[in-house]
Amino acid sequence: MRACSSLHSPPITLHLANRYIVKRTTLILLVRGNPITHVLLGYKKRGFGAGKYTGIGGKIEPGETVREAAVREMHEETGVVMSPCDLVDAGHVAFYFPARPNWNLITHIFLGRNWQGEPIETREIRPEWFATDRLPFGDMWDDATYWYPHVLKKQRVDATFAFAPDCETVATSLIDVQQTKRTGTP
């Protein structure tokens, strides 16, 4: 891997205190096209979110930066190799499950346009490319409809979602969308 100027994401600026967060996770949306026309989602075959489509990611291990964790999870779940330098920060999303507080998490979102290899199915994920105008929102977490469209338009999102007692439906949300001024890709 080549060296990066910074392997850390910018500070988290959310409206709820971090003390409610049980774990920190990562999520990468591999994308194609300029403007973005396709995104890689993974159908979760087991574990948290089984039976739903989502971006590719997972837990941050002790000693890892957020970006290192993101590329490690991408490789473990799809076989794709990436450099932490190729990740574009797309924001943070906090998830609160009052009925199941141990599910609370904050997810660092990245876009990725550069990688090596083709995504393959693993024990945990079945990767699938979707046109951005045909995302399977009915088979995704309820929050996805609120923020995926913004990120796929290259907007940065800082959001907080509190789920209803069914742990499936968004009860309340707070979303801050910022138009990014990026040079280069994605």
Question: Domain ranges in the chain?
Answer: 18-179
**Torsion sign (Cα): 50, 16, 174, 98:** positive
Which pLDDT value is given to residue 8? 36
CATH number for the segment(s) 18-179: 3.90.79.10
- pLDDT, position 7: 36
Please enumerate, as own/partner, the contacts of 178-185 that have beta carbons within 8 Å and a separation of 24 or more: 179/155, 180/154, 180/155, 180/156, 182/88, 182/154, 185/34, 185/88, 185/113, 185/114
Residues near 165 by beta carbon (within 8 Å), at least 6 away in sequence: 98, 99
Alpha-helix runs per DSSP H in the chain: 66-78, 144-151
pLDDT at 179: 80
Split the chain (186 residues) into runs of 10 and give each run's mean pLDDT: 38 44 89 97 92 95 96 97 96 92 93 97 97 97 96 96 93 89 47
Alpha carbon of 86 to those of 7, 89, 107, 146: distances in Å? 10, 10, 18, 25
